[in-house]
Structure 1
Amino acid sequence: MKVSSRGEYALRALIYLGIKENQLINIEEISEKTLVPVNYLEQILLQMKRNGYVQSKRGVNGGYKLSRGTNDIIIGEVIRNLEGPLAPMGCVSITSYESCPLESGCLLKPLWALIRDKIAELLDHTTLFDLLEGNINK
């Protein structure tokens, strides 16, 4: 699993919107506070709106805000929606399995599966609220 700039920037935007929970924040402010270019941020926020994490309002007093509570935004779900599967290799992906000619006797497959499971467990048990409060399980 590799988190691209898109995933990183989406999480930055969600964190900032979580800090400003229930306030409409214009995209320029989000961009300034998260160091994400406005044009790229527009694309990311549109995708996050489609996925139900944010809502928007147009106009002079418009902007973006969370459409769910911070406890209801699960980081694993966000990453999967933006980046795809969490598995480090296609042969252990649950949702996007890819066969491998070495798979039947592969001694690495159990390692890749364990990495997938540990990453999924951590991200699926971490909410936006946890990030905001610093409640990250070690």
Structure 2
Amino acid sequence: MKLSTKSRYGTRILIELALHVNQGALQVSTISSNQKISVKYLEQLLRTLKKAGIVNSVRGPRGGHLLIKDPEEIYLGQIVRLFEMQTDLVECVSSPEKCELAADCLVRNAWQDATSVLYKKLDSVSIADLIRGKGEKDPVACMSL
């Protein structure tokens, strides 16, 4: 499974907002500059995060975007599920009807188990964990998630 730029950039946006959580709303231009994401693409991703109830926008001269969920409560698994069209390693795990061999497939259960293990791990790592450096030597340097 290769994560799309939506998942990777969405995670970077959330890390950026979490790093500035006590400093008020961040403007799109600041996030764009710090994370090297085009403004147009960034706005698209922010809309998705806003619809999911993770981010909010504030209007006005001090406006911008901020987290409305605690970084401790935002998990990588949630972000990946939000942005990826297919969240299983192979399509036959969630849609066995799309493969005529699914019922007798000897490897389908292994793919299903691997998907489960992947999400168990992703669901155990929060944005706050990433900022604290859980499992990373330098979380800011690893922002290319």
TM-score, length of structure 2 as denominator length: 0.86
Q: Offset at 1:127?
A: 0.8
Q: Secondary structure of the equivalent of 1:115?
A: helix
Q: Offset at 1:85?
A: 4.2
Match of 1:15 in 2: 15
Match of 1:32 in 2: 33
Kept in 1: contact 2:96–2:102 (CA 8 A):
no
TM-score, length of structure 1 as denominator length: 0.90
Poorly superposed stretches of 4+, deviation over 3 Å: none
Alpha-carbon RMSD across the aligned residues, in angstroms, is 1.5
Q: Which amino acid aligns with 1:116?
A: T
**Aligned residues with identical type, % of pairs:** 32
Query: How many residues are treated as equivalent by the alignment?
Result: 134
Q: Which amino acid aligns with 1:9?
A: Y
Structure 1: stretches of 5+ with no match in the other structure: none
Q: Deviations over 1:89-116 (max 9, x none)?
A: 12212xxx24210112212212211210
In structure 2, distance between residues paired with 1:85 and 1:121: 17
Q: Which amino acid aligns with 1:59?
A: G
In structure 2, distance between residues paired with 1:84 and 1:124: 18
2:127 maps to 1:128: yes
In structure 2, distance between residues paired with 1:25 and 1:111: 43
Q: Secondary structure of the equivalent of 2:66?
A: strand
Q: Which amino acid aligns with 1:132?
A: I
